[in-house]
Structure 1
Amino acid sequence: MITSILRLQFKDGVNEAEIQRVLSIIERTAKAESVAFYSIGRYFGDPQEGFTHAYCVGIPDLTALDRYFREPAHREGDFQFIPLLAKLSQMTVLDDPDPDMLVKIAACRNAAVDPEWMALFDRIGKTDQA
């Protein structure tokens, strides 16, 4: 299982209605057939870090991950909500003992995500990424 956890910090001035729209956009992507489970909502970590919401998604394997990245709703949704973020933190949890799994995940992402989509993430503050 590939479990990805995203923590979200919204830009100043993003209102509650916009935040709810973002959560709906993310949920639309999370309902893809390739997703085994997901949870999205408020984040209760250290308030000094600034993260207010989080998204956790479980994807069974690399084949499903490739489908998840290639979901049209995934790319479309990212372009709708990423511009509203001040900071994004991403973590990966794996139950697969393969020591090369992170390399395989990165290769899967790089094969599916076009340069414009990848550049979208370079415009926001990122913390931990694995």
Structure 2
Amino acid sequence: MIYHGNRFTIKPGTPAERLEQALESLRNQGRQIPSVRHFTVGPDYGGEYDYGAVFAIDDLDGYWEYLTHPAHLHTDRIGLPLVDKFMSFDITDDPDPEMGAKIAALHQRRYDSDPELTRLVTDLGEYQGSAAPGQHHDQ
């Protein structure tokens, strides 16, 4: 099982209705993407981020389905322009010592095939973690 998470802060002055549309789009990912087993979207407590989302996915094939699903693409397009700081992370019980590099490779493959997405993440004030472009985590 892979738990893929995002933590983020919102740009000052973001209209409440646009923020709620983006959060609802994240929830919709959990409802619509077949490979998502469980999900949580809501306020992030105990840190420097405003909101977070966690999606439980069985394996790398499911992770790729999650990354490339139209519901995820929609969230990227409407949500990323509202975000200032973004952190992604993955937690897994898979014993494969290359899992971090494999996850990073899936994200890089997605960026390589989608210049608009790459522009959206490049425009973020800060982006770090497992899904950040050019990041490779071997553990």
Using structure 1 for the length normalisation, give the TM-score. Answer: 0.88
1:104 equivalent in structure 2? 102
1:58 equivalent in structure 2? 56
Distance 1:73 1:29 in 2: 5
> What letter is aligned with 1:16?
A
Distance 1:82 1:107 in 2: 21
1:10-21 → structure 2 map (5 Å cutoff): 10-21=10-21
> What letter is aligned with 1:7?
R
Query: Tell me, which stretches of 5 or more residues in structure 2 are unaligned?
Result: 131-139
Aligned residues: 127
Q: Is the 8 A contact 2:121 2:127 kept in 1?
A: no
SS state at 1:45 partner: coil
SS state at 1:18 partner: helix
Distance 2:79 2:127 in 1: 18
Distance 1:105 1:122 in 2: 19
1:84 equivalent in structure 2? 82
% identical aligned pairs: 29
> What letter is aligned with 2:77?
F
Higher relative contact order (CA 8 A, sep 6+): 1
Query: Tell me, which stretches of 5 or more residues in structure 1 are unaligned?
Result: none
Query: 1:101: Cα distance to partner?
Result: 0.4
2:129 equivalent in structure 1? 129
2:66 counterpart (65, 68, 81): 68
Query: 1:86: Cα distance to partner?
Result: 0.8
2:134 equivalent in structure 1? none
1:35 equivalent in structure 2? 36
Deviations 1:10-43 (A, max 9, x none): 0000132222111111111222111011000111
> What letter is aligned with 1:122?
T
Distance 2:75 2:127 in 1: 21
Distance 1:115 1:15 in 2: 27
Distance 2:99 2:127 in 1: 21
2:2 equivalent in structure 1? 2
Using structure 2 for the length normalisation, give the TM-score. Answer: 0.83
Query: 1:126: Cα distance to partner?
Result: 3.0
